[in-house]
Amino acid sequence: MQTTEERQRNRWLAKIHIDGPLLLGLLALAVVSLIVMYSAGGQDQGLVIRQAIRMGVSFIIMLIVAQITPQFYRHYALPIYIVGVLLLIAVLLFGEVGKGAQRWLNIGVTRIQPSEILKLSVPMFLAWYCSRVHIPIRFWHVLLGLTFVLVPTLLIAKQPDLGTALLVACSGIFVLFLAGMSWRVVISGGALAAASLPLFWFFLLREYQRQRVLTFLNPETDPLGSGYHIIQSKIAIGSGGVEGKGWLQGTQSQLEFLPERHTDFIFSVFAEEFGFYGVIGLLILYGFVIFRGMLISMRAQSNFNRLLGGSITLTFFIYVLVNIGMVSGLLPVVGVPLPLISYGGTSMVTMMAGFGILMAIATHRRLVISHG
């Protein structure tokens, strides 16, 4: 599908296995992140520098990952998945507790967060599984696939880390959907999921998670307690208006009415200072990255590549949806960062590794495309 012309133009980028448009989109998001970070962090240069260093490291990781051919991932998808699940079990048994949840595993040298590995290993494993069978996949493939998804999802939800569990589940289900899971299954599955919501509510959610959902449904009932975050966030976004209050001029963020303003609620800072125009621009930027990711996946040469690329891209979209939906009061508060903009290292590394895989899919092409 790629024209010769295009390949020639990006020849030197192709050599280092980089997709130009995707890189451009990611760099643009990184720049936005640093600009907003300076404002959200109370004009703390140290914070911006630390974020910039993390970004640099993440881009290098992306670059490294992009050099590895997708074949490699396909080959090791199963063992990586098994190791990941075992690590999750280990976390539940010996994990370290932080902020009321058990997410970290001390492996002597450093602490790792196995759930992050699963964000990539689940779609990898399911893409491998689906690419072994014929597409569209059959019903029992779906059933088996869902089981593979459910095991790590439940283990992560048990930590409890609802945000990551949601993202891992999505990444797996996207593979199944893209692999041609029949519409009947999609619809009845959705209905079944809706029907099982009460079960979920009573048996899986912890008290504070239930509280979050209740708060989401009516934040004004508890304006000083758990509803405070959402109310302040909505005030920040709303008071930004069409044109915004201007960079460094957002009163909600500068005067610290906004909670978690350089992490989960950074979108509110952006919306307050840059207004509705800024928000449109940011969504276009995200839309471009997602579109480019899907395009790369569609052009991929194998089912594994397509499914994996598609899932990574759509999971990225879920990050955007959940975060913006949360801070603007459409969705309950789930700890999902605004991808590539929120402050924080671990998830950014994972995400950039994912984009590294996308770049690998885009650039490691077998030269068998000259068929008619």
Site string for another protein, 213-252 (x = CB under 8 A): -------------------x-xxxxxxxxx--------xx
For residues 264 and 36, give the distance between their C-alpha atoms in angstroms, rounded to a whole number.
13
Say whether residue 40 binds another protein (CB under 8 A): no
For residues 274 and 280, give the distance between their C-alpha atoms in angstroms, rounded to a whole number.
10
Say whether residue 287 binds another protein (CB under 8 A): yes
- Residue 29 in tokens: 């998001």
For residues 236 and 274, give the distance between their C-alpha atoms in angstroms, rounded to a whole number.
11
- Residue 91 in tokens: 């976390």
Counting Cα atoms < 13 Å in the Cβ hemisphere of 183 gives: 0
Residue count (the chain): 372
For residues 118 and 115, give the distance between their C-alpha atoms in angstroms, rounded to a whole number.
5
Say whether residue 333 binds another protein (CB under 8 A): no
| Listed ranges 141-149, 325-333, 336-344, 345-353: which one lies at the site for another protein (CB under 8 A) | 325-333
CB of 283 to another protein, least distance (A): 5
Tell me the DSSP string of 312-329. HHHHHHHHHHHHHHHHTT
CB of 276 to another protein, least distance (A): 4
The Cα diameter of the chain in Å comes to 66
- Which of helix, strand or coil describes residue 195? helix
For residues 316 and 303, give the distance between their C-alpha atoms in angstroms, rounded to a whole number.
20
Residues of this chain, 104-143, that bind another protein according to CB under 8 A = 134-136
Of the pair 177, 355, the CB lying nearest another protein is at 177
State the number of binding residues for another protein (CB under 8 A).
48
For another protein, the binding residue among 65, 279, 333, 352 (CB under 8 A) is 279
For another protein, the binding residue among 129, 148, 317, 343 (CB under 8 A) is 317
Say whether residue 155 binds another protein (CB under 8 A): no
State the residues that interact with another protein by CB under 8 A: 134-136, 174, 177-180, 232, 234-242, 251-252, 255-257, 271, 275-276, 279-280, 283, 286-287, 290-291, 294, 297-298, 303, 306-307, 310, 314, 317, 321, 324-325, 328-330
